[in-house]
């Protein structure tokens, strides 16, 4: 059985520096991941707030969001008075 290869002083120094660099990189990665996670939470909260604000805000060209009532069907009567009543009943002014 072959045992570990003996390291000389220079090789040991290089290995120690590599271990330190790896540990430092790992620590930086963990720190960066934590900061990114915190920032993502802040952004998600801001998006939620904006979504809620948009529900009570202008849409498109400045018209408020509103529900449009369903129109009653026109029954086809050919009377100008009936047609006028139909339009007036739906908020249409001629």
Reported as a single tens digit per residue, the pLDDT across 40-78 is 888 888 888 888 777 766 555 555 566 666 766 666 667
Residue 1 lies in a domain: no
Tell me the two tokens of residue 1: 């059985």
Residue 25 lies in a domain: yes
Beta bridge partners of 59: 63
How many independent structural domains does the chain possess? 1
**Residue 3: strand, helix, or coil:** coil
Torsion of CA 78, 81, 85, 91, to 10 degrees: 100
> How many Å from the N-terminal Cα to the C-terminal Cα in the chain?
103
Domain that holds residue 74: 9-89
Residue 42 lies in a domain: yes
Q: Say how far residue 53 (Cα) sits from the centre of its chain.
A: 14
Residue 94 lies in a domain: no
Flag whether pLDDT at 26 surpasses 70.
yes
**Residue 76: strand, helix, or coil:** coil
């Amino acid at each position: 059985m072959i045992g570990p290869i003996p390291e000389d002083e220079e090789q040991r120094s290089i290995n120690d520096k590599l271990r330190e660099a790896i540990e430092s990189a790992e620590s930086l990665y963990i720190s960066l991941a934590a900061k990114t996670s915190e920032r993502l939470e802040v952004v998600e909260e801001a998006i939620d707030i904006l979504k809620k604000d948009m529900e009570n805000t202008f849409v498109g060209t400045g018209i408020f969001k509103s529900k449009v009532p369903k129109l009653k069907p026109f029954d086809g009567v050919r009377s100008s008075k009936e047609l006028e009543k139909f339009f007036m009943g739906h908020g249409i002014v001629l």
